[in-house]
Amino acid sequence: MAKRAARFKRRGLMFVLSSPSGAGKTTISRQLLADDDNLQLSISATTRPKRPSERDGVDYHFVDHGGFERMVSNGEMLEHAVVFGNRYGTPRAPVEKALAAGRDVLFDIDWQGTQQVYSKMPDDVVRVFVLPPSVEELARRLHTRAQDSDEVVAQRMAKAADEMSHYDAYDYIIVNEQVERAVAQAKAILTAERQRLKRLVGLDGFVKGLRGGA
Ligand code: 5GP
């Protein structure tokens, strides 16, 4: 996609996508990132073991408990939480750098992390929750994924109900019945949110120019 020079400065936004596992959030995230030059993924740190398909530094920063704890105590995490018995957290520095440069950041984090980033940076955060179309479809998607053990799948199914109870702490809801439509809805939200007055930090000078310096 061609990049257009901005005529005035805009602050980046934090686009948070949460859902129970199996709702299709990862597919939606990948598509958004592939189609949008100005959107980058926040790469979380986690103590969870790497899955075969994952790459360190691309999908996650895989760290041990000591490394994770050091990042927390050094104040390097914007938020962190325990999910399914493992620790997950968002490194702060890349996010702050991106926002200041007018780049948008996509977060695949749970409801606990969403609450923390929202309480710290309410003006920057756009909260989107992805729901599966039915409980049967959720179960089917969790089973076909099958990268985790049966035990983990069963655990995630039980946790999905709990995760979904937090839908009302989000700004937008996407029901992922058909992935193309869900992606289009996410893009529409992103497009609209980029035009919010509060993000257009260079607008005042631009309008002054339009008004002939008045
Ligand atoms: P998974 O292990 O399947 O990649 O992710 C499990 C859950 O952890 C997902 O709901 C995902 O959104 C959440 N998660 C991933 N990274 C972070 C993070 O940095 N912070 C928080 N709070 N949750 C995360």
**Prediction pTM value:** 0.92
Residue 178, domain member (yes or no): yes
Q: Does any domain span residue 21?
A: yes
Q: How far apart are CA 159 and CA 164, in angstroms?
A: 9
At residue 122, what is the residue type? P
Q: Give yes or no for a contact between 78 and 116, defined as CB atoms under 8 angstroms apart.
A: yes
As a whole number of angstroms, the distance between CA 122 and CA 109 comes to: 16
Q: Is 110 in the pocket of ligand 1 (CB under 6 A)?
A: yes
Helix, strand, coil percentages, rounded to 5, for the chain: 45, 20, 35
**DSSP designation for 112:** H
Report the nearest-CA residue for atom 24 of ligand 1: 109
Share of the chain above pLDDT 70, in %: 95
Domain with residue 132: its CATH number is 3.40.50.300
Q: Is the CB of 22 under 6 A from ligand 1?
A: no
- Are 132 and 23 in contact by the 8 Å Cβ rule? The answer is yes
Q: Tell whether 208 is covered by a domain.
A: no
pLDDT for res 150: 73
Inside any domain, residue 185? yes
Classify residue 60 by its DSSP letter: B
Query: 110 in a domain, yes or no?
Result: yes
Starting at the earlier edge strand, list the strands of the sheet with 172-175: 39-41, 104-108, 14-18, 125-131, 172-175
pLDDT number for residue 213 = 74
Average pLDDT score, the chain? 92
pLDDT at 108: 95
- Low-confidence residues of the chain, pLDDT below 50? none
Q: Confirm whether 57 is domain-assigned.
A: yes
Tens-place pLDDT, residues 16-51: 999 988 888 999 999 999 999 999 999 999 999 999
Is 58 within a domain?
A: yes
β-strand partners of 39: 104
Other Cβ atoms closer than 10 A to 138: 24
Mutation probe of ligand 1 site: the residue of 61, 83, 131 with most atoms within 8 A of C-beta: 83
**Cα of 159 to ligand 1 centre, how many Å?**
13
What is the residue range of 63's domain? 11-199
Number of domains in the chain: 1
Examine residue 71 and state whether it is found in any structural domain, yes or no.
yes
